[in-house]
Structure 1
Amino acid sequence: MSKALLPLFFFFLTCFSKPITYTPKASLLFPSDAVSILSFKSKADLDNKLLYELNERFDYCQWQGVKCAQGRVVRYILQNSDLRGIFPADSLTRLDQLRVLSLHNNSLSGPIPDLSSLYNLKSLFLDRNNFSGTFPPSVLLLHRITSLDLSYNGLTGPMPANLTVLDRLKILRLEWNRFNGTVPPLNQSFLLIFNVSGNNLTGKIPVTRTLSKFNTTAFSLNPNLCGEIINKACTSRAPFFGSPSASGPLGQSAEVQGSGANSGGILVLTPPSSPKKKHQKTTAVLGFTFGIALIIFSVLLALALVRKQSGKKRLDSKETKPTTIVSSEATNSNLGNPKTQVEEVSERKLVISEVQKPKKSGNLVFVAGEVEGYSLEQLMRASAELLGRGTMGTTYKAVVDGQLILTVKRLDAGKTGVTSGEVFEQQMDAVGGLRHPNLVPIRAYFQAKGERLVIYDYQPNGSVYNLVHGSRSTRAKPLHWTSCLKIAEDVAQGLAYIHQASRLVHGNLKSSNVLLGTDFEACLTDYCLAVLADSSSTEDPDSAAYKAPEIRKSNGRLTPKSDVYAFGVFLLELLTGKHPSQHPVLVPHDVMEWVRTMREDDGGEYHRLGMLTEVASVCSLKSPEQRPPMWQVLKMIQEIKKSAMIEDSASFGYS
């Protein structure tokens, strides 16, 4: 080396000595792809799971997850690598020869960076992480992409309407985020896998040749979607404001503007009438308006008289009235016994009359240190809507002071009257202390003579019963096996927690007692209350089918193993879409064939369905000693989940 170059050499040695902290033997001159990967590792691998070391110039091509072609990184696959951190900008995005990027099933968080520089990318799998923010718009610039999976994250915001620019797309999975907006009118003829379930999408699903290929499970858990594809009618409503001739969002929708019939609340533009017809119409409108005003005045006067008389009655009988909930029957929804059909009526009041209040009895008791955010008097004035009737009692949706929404379960005195007040208090204090993401938390309870109430958080997305069986007018298809797996894992988590955190049992597991939370997670309700009920009371056939043989025959004591049996029945209900009372009595070997028969369109998922069916079969064995404990059932389900991820990785070209 010439003396003239020595100062320059030492200058570069000084400049590059500090950044080489990733490995002690690293080369002074990093290839650009190695720098990109090490930059990613520095922010995404906070627990140092990736043991990267650069001894030779092209050592990075041997690093975990890296595959090179002609010295450039073309695949970077780090699935199930326990990564924790963020996806830093200006790191992997500099790998301009990258074809496949998979960070599947890690714990990466934060927003997804700009990926537009990865113009050669064909497969992008960022699913099952904790990414937040909106759908990354830079993905729409990746015109070579064929596989895109952003599912099971926390992405929010509108669904991009121009997904059609991804014209080579074969796999698109965006389920279990919180996207809103409408389903884009996809027309990619190559699209083979598509799922947007578990979001907050609304409106009519476009009927395209591509979208029509997929069944209802691809759109499930979006309660405000409608259209021909999911067999759910869309209601078209005229705007409250704006003239029929107005255009745009405050005037008419596209459907209104193109309408040719006056049906379904759609506005119709008619030609101008003659002066004589106008005069006749004006007279008719005035007469109709006067008649409506007279009717409204009469109704208001009658209501005022009724309210005045009812107020007098309440004052006269203040000292003697027992606590009651007064409510007419309303629409049967997703709680309680799903077979109880009631007529839809207007909103009514949840009235709890005043009672004597010695110590706990007669007071609203908040459990587990809950803050007293409302009083018994406020609950008395709450408006209430009947949600359903179950084996334990009646369930209401209560709105306190027009803001706080609660679920109030009124226990049937005829079924729970066999237990003393002290036993009820002890049970509620124990159950109220249970807290788990897959349990609907109990917030408070109330009891007085002949009256017992349990107050829960309100769950907005209905029950698994409604999800599985659909409405009366249309038979829902069995859920996609991935939805079955997700719900089964959530329910198993909740049951295992009850069994391990206490000596309690659920005792009343069924699909109508599994609700869907704000993020569509499955949550158990009505847990640990069955011990308060009279076991001799009659039940509907479906509820009875959940009972283990040892409980059915001798009215025996509820045990964790009887919960395991009910879970097996519940899992078969998920897989087949059949009510428990319709499940045939089969030997385990024949159960799989029955499940396959019920699921006609899942030809490629028999292996995975078989594993779930085996779990259901072993849980519902007649002998309680042969059934596994709930923690072991949970482990079996998680092993199925892990196995499916590995298989998907191989089939999607992860490795």
Structure 2
Amino acid sequence: MHSTSHITPHHHLPFLLFLLLGSALVGECFGETVAQREHDALTALKLSFGNPLLSANWSGSQCSTNRSTWFGIGCTDNRVTSIALQGLGLSGRIDDPLTLAPLTELTLLSLRNNLISGLVLNFSFNLKLTSLDLSENSLTGPISDSLLRLDKLELLQLSDNKLNGSIPPFNQTSLKAFNVSNNNLTGEIPTTTVLQSFNQSSYLGNPGLCGEPISTSCQSLESANNNNAKNQHDLSSLKDLFIVADFVLFLALSWSLFALYSKTRECKAIANARKGAGEVDKNRDVETDSVQNSIQNSVQDRVQNSMQISIQRRVEAAEETRKLTFVKGDGGFDLDNLLKSSAEGLGGRGTNRIPFKWSSRLAVAVGVARAVEYLHLNAASPTVIPHGNLRSPNVLLDEDDVAKVSDYGLISLVAPSLAAQRMAAYRTPEYDHQRKVSKMSDVWSYGCLLLELLTGRSPGPKG
């Protein structure tokens, strides 16, 4: 006879409660650990900059569900997802390259237009980054290879720093905006599909770079570097020659002075002997003085001639090393090549359409935005509209599709009646309803410009 035992659900209840309680405690501890690590990372960032605004504002908890009270910080689900601290005059350097490693949910980091120094951080643990802007700072050293691991990166701005070394072979298909201009980068631009898709404005201002898409060939750059090395060697040899010449001149001058001194003593001894013997012979005295003066004049002439020859050689050598050679290209210089077209005629439709790549359109949009931002940040008065007439005919493009914003600040010089007819600021909705314009008029005009860049069609009379 077999005995059986029945386990009721009540037998499992204590075990299930234990598991639920343990899971809750582990989850709470884990959440506190992640939040604390992110808090410590942001605190380290604050201490690196020593900025009064961040010191006063960055306190307490950095995230509250989907928002943050910390200036420039964005949160989602109690995790830090964005840091935007551009144009605050931040200075200092971040010594630990893994300072931001705990921010694994970070998607945007913008520290543009500050005074930050040091190396580019290691972003190996920030794999969700889509936008990284470190331009217009004082960063040094090479571009971090950790950026190659960011498969979701869409924007990388490193221009206007002091970075050196070569460009890593970026080839993320997600990368749509890229700029490393105005640094000290060297070597050949990698031939990856992504890097070759950007125009040369993304690489300008790096004399040591060569290869497509810029016009400097690596062969000509290497030849120029060899010539510079040879010139430096010749200059060093010339300096050595100057040192030897100066030493010889010094010996000659010393010998001449010693000879003059010896002859003077000899003449004085003869004169004293004659005086002691009571012999006064004026003719001999005159002859002695004449000989002494002749010797002195001869020595002075030799020293002066030697110094003039040395100075003349230095001047000729300096003139030779400072010569500048101006080379004019075969095509000469033409203003039409500098100002290719205004944005008004680009991207349109029809037979007269000028080809305009999407990467160039994006570069124009970013360039105009930066120009308008600069005008707004440096406005002479809060009541003055910084531009007032932002539209495509006033956005000029050079041969590399770099945007140049023109005709700004004219609204205060034009009669109100004429300004209402001509200026883009008077087409805004607030002017239609309230008969007034403001700084926000430039923002509305910029939106119209973006629409024109996207569609290729100019907005109507009222936008």
TM-score, normalization: structure 2? 0.45
TM-score, normalization: structure 1? 0.33
Structure with higher Rg: it is 2
Structure 1 or 2: more helix by fraction: 2
